[in-house]
Each structure stands twice: as C-alpha cells, then as structure tokens.
A and B are shown apart, each in its own frame.
Chain A
Amino acid sequence: MDDAMDDSNKMDVEQDLVTNATSSHERRRCKVSYFYKPDVAVSPSLSTNLHRDSRLTSPPLVSSLSPSTTAQDTL
C-alpha cells in the first residue's frame, strides 16, 4: 500500500514537473504584436531614394533647446 502511495505521489510530482516545464516554456516565448498596413497609398516618387548622407548640420545647441524644440512641454 505504501508503495502504491509512493507511486501516486511520484506521478503527481512528475505531472507538476511537466506542468511547470510547460508554463516556464510559455513564459520564455514573448508575445509579439506586429503592425503592418499593406495598402498604404504612396506615389512612385516616394520610391526614390532621397536620403542624403552628405549633408552636415550643426549639432543642436544646448542654448537653443527649449519647449519649442523639445517635448518638454508635453511631459
């Protein structure tokens, strides 16, 4: 009878292990949401690569930073 109880407990433990393994596996998989809109209306001109890497602009001057250029006023 003791052996039977031991077996029963063992089964429970094994079942717990399986359950826990499953849940920890599920935790590892991130829930990912992907946003895509295929029917974006764009003109052919948008397909032209116009990004220029040659233009140099001045870094932002600290003295010029204000709510007019930063997002500070919305924070």
Chain B
Amino acid sequence: MKPQRLKLTHQLLLSFGLYRKMEVLRPHRATPEELERFHAHDYIEFLRRVSPLTEKEMDRQAQRFAVGVLGGDCPNFHGLFEFMSICAGGSIDSAIKINRQEADVCVNWSGGLHHAKKAEAEGFCYINDIVLSILELLKYHPRVLYIDIDIHHGDGVEEAFYTTNRVMTVSFHKYGDFFPGSGALDDVGWGAGKYCSVNVPLLNGLDDATFEHTFKPVLTKVFAVFQPGAVVMCCGADSIAGDRLGCWNMSLRGHGAAVDFVKTFGVPIILLGGGGYTPRNVARCWAYETAVALGDQDELKDEIPMNELYTSFGPSFRFHLDPEASMENKNVNSYVDPIVRKVLENLSELKGPPSVAFQDVPRDFYADDAEDPTDARPDEVLEDNKDSTSYAAGTECGAGSTD
C-alpha cells in the first residue's frame, strides 16, 4: 500500500489537465471524536499513542488490535494516526459535500480502507473511512448504497452494516483461497439487514466482458429495489490487469465502466480508492476514473503527458493497459450466470425500499475547535502546494473552473 500511488495519480490529473475541471480540496484531519463514531474508543486511543518507539510497552494492546504484530499485515509506523486521520477526513468531507448538494461526485483516492473493523486493523486498513462516510451520508439520506470493485471482499464495510437495511453493500470480489476469505454468495445480511448484503464471488482471470455481464444486471436490480439516495464506491485498482497481488484481467475501460454505469442512475457518488499494488497502474486507473466522473474519459490521449514523475510510467509510457492475452478467464458463463441469477432472486425478496422513521439529524462533523486551523476547513480550496509546484496557481485549482 504505497502512498506514492496518490502522488502518481495526482500527477496524471495535473498533466491531463483534469484538475481544471473540478474543485480541488484539501481534506481535514479527522478528529478522534469523528473516528469514534464507528471505531471503539480504546482502539482509537491506541492508534493515537502507538509508534515504533512505544511498540514494546504496548505489546498486549498491539496483539489485541492487530497492529504491529510480527508477521501481520498492519505494521506500526511513524505518523500512522495522522496519515489515517487524513484519509478518513477526505471521505467524511466528501459525504458532507454530497449532503450539502455541493457536488455530484466526490473523489478521495486516499480512502477506501474497506477491511478495517470496529476495533481491529486488517489488510493494511486501520480506520474504515468508508463506514465513516456512509454514517455521515445517513444523516441526510434514508438509504446509502456501497459498491466495492476492489478484488478483495469489502468485509469491514459489510460487517459494519450487516444488520441494517439502510445500507446495502454490494461487493464483486475474487473468492476462494484469497484474502480476506469472506464474501460468500450466501452471506446476505442478518435481521433487518437480510438481503441487504450482496456478494458476487468470482474466480481468476475476470475480463471486461464478464465483469460487465455481471455488474450491469446486479446493479440495475439493486437500484430498482433499494433506491439509494447516495452511492459510495470503493474502486480498488488491484482488479485491473497486471496487478502485483491481483489475479483479474480488466482494462482501465472495463474497470471504469462500472463507475460510468453507476453515474447513469443520477445519484450522487463518492469515489474512493482501495487496494492496488502496481502503483503506476493504480494511478492510471484512478486518473481514468476521475475522467469518467467528469465525463471526459474519451478525451484522454493514450500517451502519458510529461509530468514530474513521468519516468514512473515506463516502459510503455502509454496510458491504457492491455489485458494479458495468456490469462485464462475462469469465470465462464456456466459459473457466473447462476451466481447472478441467485443474487437477483435474493434482491427480489426485498419488498420495496426500506423506509426510515422521522428523527433528529445529528450535526455535521466539523471540528470547530481543531488544533490546526487549516485542518478544520475542508472547504478550503487547495492553493499552494510545496510538493507539487506545477499546479500551484490557485485560480486554476478553484471551484468553478469548468473549461
């Protein structure tokens, strides 16, 4: 999970000129109070205090919360809490922008940490920014739809909302001898949330055509029966061809087609990142999907424009990726069709969209008394940038630049 992915993505957005067509905002740093809206207080306190220097004295808690455990997948590192707070802040800010009807699509590629549990880190996810953003959306929207196209099952989000009918989680993932091991077809939710957890377990080698053959009927039915007021998408890029850990074979166009399809329903969307372990391809994928959000994907040229990190996009220096011709797609129709049929049958069990009783709307999460005044202003347009001088012209990053 390399932060370099975000810088590479940003460079593509700059060099393709996409930043001129959208509002570029600096996320706030989420406060412990905000994080504890989902996460356990003990867990957040632990994340605040743990560092490589305090690791030994906090060993028992580290074992309990699965952070910094030898051989585990969630290492302890300097700046952990700050980094995760910023990732979460962007997702919460996105939800607030959507709630205020100030944006149709919000993008936070540093978010999408879908494995984190209420009191446990997992799969390099410490804070579940997705759950936090959905909770924020639920203040204004009776129903929120979560769609996960990361190759790994979105277990943390599913578990958080497994017993409610106000959130439907739909995950398309590789299943069988694969992390995290959850996401079976029969996991459909529990209690009031029955049939509101949708799992589409798939096999190796998924290509564009099969993915489309799967997500279009499922999502069409989901929108018809659930009628969400907002959508959150985890666009993990480990499902595209050539990923270091993934085993699917989709192109950028195939992956982005899911985002484009969701847009057609006219519901506000939050696009979040997620997995993706070949950084240059992750950047390609998320830059493409930002263009999809803007409706400009067909205008992107296949040559990587010159940028500060241009050499990272070698050796091809082409934008689009070719699926691997030698990879076998094990998702044959005889495997996929019964799954889609079963999912559609389950969704038919929902008799109309669930309703919500009148209740007080909790206030928006804004840190009125944040320590760092710049972190308390998520609406602040990003104007100066020490790391990236090429887009420092504040006027070009501001709202309203639509040319």
Q: Residues of A with Cβ closer than 8 Å to B? A: 28-43, 45-60, 62, 65, 68-72, 74-75
B385 in contact with A74 (CB, 8 Å):
no
Checking A30, A53, A58, A70 against B161 with a beta-carbon cut-off of 8 angstroms, the contacting residue is: A70
Give the CA-CA distance A57 to B13 in the complex, in Å: 37
Give the CA-CA distance A29 to B22 in the complex, in Å: 10
A37 in contact with B104 (CB, 8 Å):
no
Whether A70 contacts B118 in the complex (CB less than 8 A), given A30-B263, A47-B3, comes out as yes
- Classify chain B: how many residues form its interface, as a range: 35 or more
Chain B residues with CB under 8 A of A32: 21-23, 103-107, 290, 293-294
Chain B residues with CB under 8 A of A62: 162, 190
A42 in contact with B295 (CB, 8 Å):
no
A56 in contact with B177 (CB, 8 Å):
yes
Whether A41 contacts B83 in the complex (CB less than 8 A), given A34-B24, A35-B25, comes out as yes
Pairs A-B, 5 closest by C-beta atoms: A59-B182, A35-B90, A32-B22, A30-B104, A43-B78
A69 in contact with B83 (CB, 8 Å):
no
Chain A residues with CB under 8 A of B216: none
In the assembled complex, B117 has its CB within 8 A of some CB on chain A: yes
B3 in contact with A70 (CB, 8 Å):
no
Known: A31-B102, A70-B161, A75-B138. 8 other contacts (CB 8 A): A29-B294, A30-B263, A36-B109, A43-B78, A55-B179, A56-B180, A65-B163, A75-B166
A48 in contact with B75 (CB, 8 Å):
yes
Checking B4, B86, B90, B378 against A47 with a beta-carbon cut-off of 8 angstroms, the contacting residue is: B4
In the assembled complex, B212 has its CB within 8 A of some CB on chain A: no
Whether A38 contacts B161 in the complex (CB less than 8 A), given A43-B79, A51-B277, comes out as no
Q: Closest CB-CB distance, A73 to chain B, in whole Å?
A: 10
Q: Residues of B with Cβ closer than 8 Å to A? A: 1-4, 6-7, 10, 13, 19, 21-27, 37-38, 52, 73-75, 77-79, 82-83, 86, 90, 93-94, 97, 102-110, 117-119, 122-124, 131, 135, 138, 152, 155, 158-164, 166, 177-184, 187, 190, 244-245, 263, 275, 277, 290, 293-295, 378, 382, 385-388, 402
Chain B residues with CB under 8 A of A31: 22-23, 102-105
Chain A: CB-nearest residue to B109: A36
Checking A30, A38, A55, A56 against B7 with a beta-carbon cut-off of 8 angstroms, the contacting residue is: A38
Chain A residues with CB under 8 A of B52: 45
Chain B: CB-nearest residue to A35: B90
Whether A42 contacts B77 in the complex (CB less than 8 A), given A30-B105, A32-B104, A49-B1, comes out as yes
Chain A: CB-nearest residue to B293: A32
Whether A65 contacts B190 in the complex (CB less than 8 A), given A53-B178, A70-B162, A71-B131, comes out as yes
Chain B: CB-nearest residue to A62: B190
Q: Closest CB-CB distance, B248 to chain A, in whole Å?
A: 12
